[in-house]
Chains A and B, each alone.
Chain A
Amino acid sequence: MICNDVALEGVELEAALAEALNTPTGTADIPAWTDTKVVGQRLPKIDAYERVSGTAVYPSDITLPGMLHAAVLRCPHGHARVKKLDASRAAKMPGVRAVLTPESPGADIPWYPGEKGYVSRLLDTHCRFAGDEIAAVAADTPYQAFDAVRAIVVEYEVLPNVVGLDAALAPNAPAVLDGPTNRAGDPRAQGRGDVAAGFAAAEVTVEGTYSTGTQLHVPIELHGAVVRWDGPKLVAWDSLQGVFPAQNTYARALALPLSNVRVIGHYMGGGFGSKLDTGKYGVIAALLAKQAARPVRLFMTREDTMRAIGNRPAVRMTVKLGAKKDGTLTAIDFSCTGSGGAYSAGGTGGVNWLPLDLYRCPNVNTVSTNVYIHAGPERPFRGPGHPQGAWALEQAMDTLAAKLGMDPVALRLKNVPDISQGRQDQARYTSTGLATCLTEGAKTFGWTEARARVPQAGPVRRGVGVAAGMWRGGGGSPPATIIVRLVADGTASVNMGASDIGNGTKTWAAMIVAEELGVPVDRIGIEHADTATTQYTGASGGSKTVPTEAPAIRAAAIEVKRQLLALAAADLKVDATALSIADGAVFVTADPSKRIVIRQFRPLAQRGVLVGVGVRGPDTHGMAVNPWGVHFAEVEVDTRTGLVRIQRYLAAQDSGKVMNRLTYDNQVIGAITMGQGLALTEDRIMDAAHTGRVLNANMHDYKVPTALDAVVAPVIVAVDPKDTTCNIAATKGLGEPATIPAAAAIANAVAHALGVRVVDAPISPQRVLDALAAPRTPAKGVRS
């Protein structure tokens, strides 16, 4: 299990280790890209046809001979103990081949690491949320498996549950993890300077309270795996963002050597952080498969994924800002409380990063409090903690701008940092696109004119808002090892461990090789995401895939190019430096008539293959690599019904060099839509009054925006600071930074439209109407 903080620290740790171990850089001599011909173009995905025609085989499409289907019994109560469990009737039902209960050998695998060791087991009789796994069945058909699960007789001792933050912290609240309190450790303080002095020096202060709802990942492909034992070896086709972390989890849970676990994840239907690793489902499937001596398919139901596979935790935040009259920030005081559910302490992971790092400010204090509740555990979700932090900080910045009589863009421009104040070493950013995103974005959006527009009469009000953000990750890091091969017919292939999580990884990998080798993109094959045939890399998460893999791919391609040019130089009897490659041919730069068509090049045909290995080099020492973004939204709010419609949207992103402008834009559109969901409609609702169940664990009651809700044709401004320091591909991550400011920008636009601020997400029609009905004094939070 990965917790936000551990994952982030892990990345930095990896970088430090790579440096200490003197990992071969492979990239040290290669100058960073400036201008590129193929990279940056708008190219459709190389597997687009397979994806839309249904011929792409996703893990959930895998069917093996003799394959069984599994179903899982989950606790229907928020908190209960299994007093008695009788699976004897289920075991005798038609088609049932394996039954797993908490008593089964191997089902007691420790699960969910806590402060002092693991706090639960794979199948546990102490259930701490409605959806906790108790037993599982594998049968010939999915229906037989579900019927058998229904036939398991369980006697529960139903215990009091607690699913609210306040309720969990109240005296005498039911203990979630048997500790003296439901607070997960002491509140964590982070900051710098002297906040009291900062506020004393401030000429203007604002203070407010904000909150967000719990957002669910809801990827189209459900969580699950098909597993098969091949003697002592386990093979798993698992819907994942990273096959190597899953290989590790399978190996640990089942006490197998890594080399006996093969995880394959060629296609996957979305994860957004919830598929960085396999889950209980994969290990349960492996145990059932072992028991039945048959392959097993276990995909969770949609409802169960909404209860049990993770979430972006709801967070309650207070922000106090102090500033000089010219807008210079003097102090930020920030506190947040959130819950990672029953088993994770990471309810506020990443939430305080924007208060710590987004704006230049000498005095910052942040306090983060984590609480256990009887709910499914959180999991990293597209920029963990950052959209929540942006929700509070960026609304507070707007309030501050109003109080100062400053334009919100101007206020932000006044406080652009050039060093990462949140990092202990106060590292300088390799590039800070924040100012350019603000100015270019405002210009393209027509911010000044839109902001000055006189509000129209009538029940429908219009407003514009802005919000900024950055992502703590997004710089990538070692390790990544790439193999590029050029074969006799002049085609090439890329071998990489990374998963393509839907954002076009395979396509830009091919584009990078095309850029360096002159081989057309459609002549480049991709092998990826298979622990048996590709090389170790971390999961495709943290917006690290491009900045981690692209430099290594480029290094591998350059190595192949070096070998090819050496062969060609010998053949043409010139120095290799005199040669160029383009359009499938090597030629003398000064005399293009002297040329070798690669697919007819005999020395290559004789060798059969040229192999280049590229390794992701260490990051630039003492520098911080971060992507930035600023979003602008224009909304209409109907004051009769409380409905918010987004009319116009612009996202300006600094993610360094663009790999593929088409998939870049698509990634930003998806990120905006996800931010829109957080801002307006998405919210896990739990039955605090009775059972502690998720009341809206379905696609109707949990409201992901539909195609009719999503912003039409947002304008996307790709800011490229030509960062030649961050890595040799001059690029940074995009997927997470593009969602971080979205919800806050929408909230600021709504506040501008209404003249009253809705401080709690989602801004449902209910909350808009309640805010309009409330007396016009800021009872809760602040308003502009």
Chain B
Amino acid sequence: MIPPFAYVRARSIDEAVALLARPESRPAAGATDLIGCLRDEVFTAKAVVSLGGIEAMTGIAETADGGLRIGALTSLTTIVKHALVAGRYPALAQAAASVASPQLRNQGTLGGNLCQRPRCWFFRGGYDCARKAGDTCYAMQGDNRYHCVFGGSTCLIVHPSDTATALTALDAIVSIAGPKGTRSVPIQQFFVLPEKDMTHENVLAPGELVTTISLPAPRAGLVSVYRKARARASWDFALAACAAAITIEQGKVTAARIVLGAAAPIPWRVEGAERMLIGRRLDEPTRARVAAAALNGATPLEHNAYKVAMLRGVVSEALGSIG
């Protein structure tokens, strides 16, 4: 059961921004994560601001330079079914298709998927943990089998979003509206590590919301893929995931993005491994070297050493499906 709250429908982005600037106002796009968070008392809401009626935040459009502009309210199902997404950015289509269940994909939005809160069972389980401004991270002593192997510090969450991993590999730009106007940030700068901000997963300030996600035009030779390992074939977050976006020209890699999911508190780009690909053919020895290098510097916790092998496995699968 959820404690009482006011429910307001915003008619425009400006109105939403004004409503969200009030204390304990929460945006509702698909509300699939919002309801879980309210029910689990992850946070409280005095007001829920529905974004559903804001036309300017919907739809998928091709931009003049050949990229895509995706409204934050676009449902994951719409993204999965969109021919341009599937054709030019298969990693995003595959990531969106792997989210949760058909019902949740029908209801859940791309903006919401990027901004969902972590699944850490201490964070969700009524613990007054560091991410909720409490004084400790319970995963440090407790069962941390699903926690991070990179980027942990005073909080050990992994970022739960499949699409965030794919969009990071695809160099997406996140457009944000807020009380001080609008701004756009490269997706890599959108997510923040706990060492920078313990209680937020991204740079959104109070009153700010994601309005659009833009993808640059795909370069000739760009191939992208998303691979996700999970305990169940449906309705499950990643145990390990990898998005790869590789540009191959005349048989050789000229650009590469490899991003790990369920590995760190943010989508975790492995630039060292990416660099190893440049100028090479994507053959089996290279793939194996790169998959191994992708996990360099991983610091597994007491219960999640398996994640290192599993992440290596999904990197190898992802690269294998390209090469």
Contacts and interface: CB of A to CB of B under 8 A. Distances in A.
Given A709-B232, A765-B306, A640 B143 contact: no
B188 interface: no
B232 A641 contact: no
Contacts of B141: 689-690
A700 B314 CA distance: 22
Contacts of A765: 229, 231, 239, 306, 310
B309 interface: yes
Interface in A629-674: 638-643
Nearest to A686: B143
B235 A690 contact: no
B200 interface: no
A544 B288 CA distance: 56
B212 to A, nearest CB: 29
Contact of A700 (B143, B236, B312): B236
A689 B233 contact: no
Given A146-B1, A693-B125, A641 B310 contact: yes
Q: Which of A689, A691, A764 has the most CB of B within 10 A?
A: A689
A752 to B, nearest CB: 21
B316 interface: yes
Interface string B213-240: 0000000000000000101111111011
Given A687-B143, A690-B138, A641 B317 contact: yes
A60 B246 CA distance: 54
Contacts of B138: 687, 689-690
Contact of B143 (A642, A643, A695): A695
Nearest to A706: B234
B3 A147 contact: yes
Interface in B116-162: 119, 121-122, 125-127, 138, 141-143, 145
B233 A641 contact: no
Given A142-B1, A696-B121, A703 B231 contact: yes
B59 interface: no
Contacts of B239: 641, 765-766
A590 interface: no
B206 interface: no
Contacts of A705: 232
Nearest to B239: A765
A394 to B, nearest CB: 23
A770 B232 contact: no
Contact of B234 (A142, A638, A680, A709): A709
A716 interface: no
A165 B122 CA distance: 22
B313 interface: yes
Contacts of A773: 305-306, 309
A770 B305 contact: yes
A706 B235 contact: yes
Contacts of A318: none
B232 A688 contact: no
B236 A703 contact: yes
B317 A640 contact: yes
A769 B125 contact: no
B240 A641 contact: yes
A766 B306 contact: yes
A378 B308 CA distance: 36
Given A695-B143, A703-B236, A681 B229 contact: no
A56 B139 CA distance: 45
Nearest to B316: A640
A707 interface: yes
Interface in B276-317: 304-306, 309-310, 312-314, 316-317
Contacts of B304: 766
B82 to A, nearest CB: 23
A147 B3 CA distance: 7
Interface string B259-275: 00000000000000000
B142 A690 contact: yes
Contact of B233 (A638, A700, A706, A772): A706
Interface in A38-94: 71, 76
A685 interface: yes
Nearest to A770: B306
Given A695-B121, A765-B310, A688 B234 contact: no
A705 B231 CA distance: 9
Q: Which of A301, A701, A770 has the most CB of B within 10 A?
A: A701
B234 to A, nearest CB: 4
A708 interface: yes
B229 A643 contact: yes
A641 B234 contact: no
Q: Which of B231, B233, B313 has the most CB of A within 10 A?
A: B231
A149 to B, nearest CB: 9
A147 B306 CA distance: 42
A660 B307 CA distance: 47
A681 B3 contact: no
A443 interface: no
A7 to B, nearest CB: 33
A118 interface: no
A587 B313 CA distance: 73
A765 B142 CA distance: 20
B79 to A, nearest CB: 20
Contacts of B143: 685, 687-689, 695
Contacts of A640: 309-310, 312-314, 316-317
Contacts of A685: 121, 143
Nearest to B228: A641
A649 to B, nearest CB: 16
A770 B300 CA distance: 13
Contacts of A691: 127
A150 interface: yes
A360 to B, nearest CB: 39
A301 B235 CA distance: 20
Contacts of A638: 313
A767 B232 CA distance: 15
Interface string B1-31: 1011000000000000000000000000000
B60 to A, nearest CB: 27
B129 to A, nearest CB: 11
A687 B139 CA distance: 10
Nearest to B315: A640
A688 B232 CA distance: 25
Contact of A709 (B101, B233, B316): B233
A639 B233 CA distance: 17
A700 B234 CA distance: 10
A642 to B, nearest CB: 6
Nearest to B240: A641
Interface string A127-150: 000000000000000110011001
A167 to B, nearest CB: 14
Contacts of B119: 700-701
Contacts of A641: 229, 239-240, 310, 313-314, 317
B43 to A, nearest CB: 16
Nearest to A697: B125
B1 A701 contact: no
Contacts of B126: 76, 693
Across chains A and B, which 8 residue pairs bring their CB atoms closest together, nearest first? Answer: A640-B313, A146-B1, A708-B233, A641-B229, A689-B142, A769-B306, A766-B306, A695-B121
Interface of B: 1, 3-4, 101, 119, 121-122, 125-127, 138, 141-143, 145, 229, 231-237, 239-240, 304-306, 309-310, 312-314, 316-317
23 contacts: A142-B1, A641-B310, A642-B306, A642-B313, A687-B122, A687-B142, A689-B138, A693-B125, A695-B121, A695-B122, A695-B125, A700-B235, A701-B119, A703-B232, A703-B236, A706-B232, A765-B229, A765-B231, A765-B239, A766-B239, A767-B306, A769-B306, A772-B309
Interface of A: 71, 76, 142-143, 146-147, 150, 301, 459, 638-643, 680-681, 685, 687-691, 693, 695-696, 700-701, 703, 705-709, 764-767, 769-770, 772-773
Given A642-B310, A708-B234, 4 more contacts: A641-B317, A708-B233, A765-B229, A765-B239
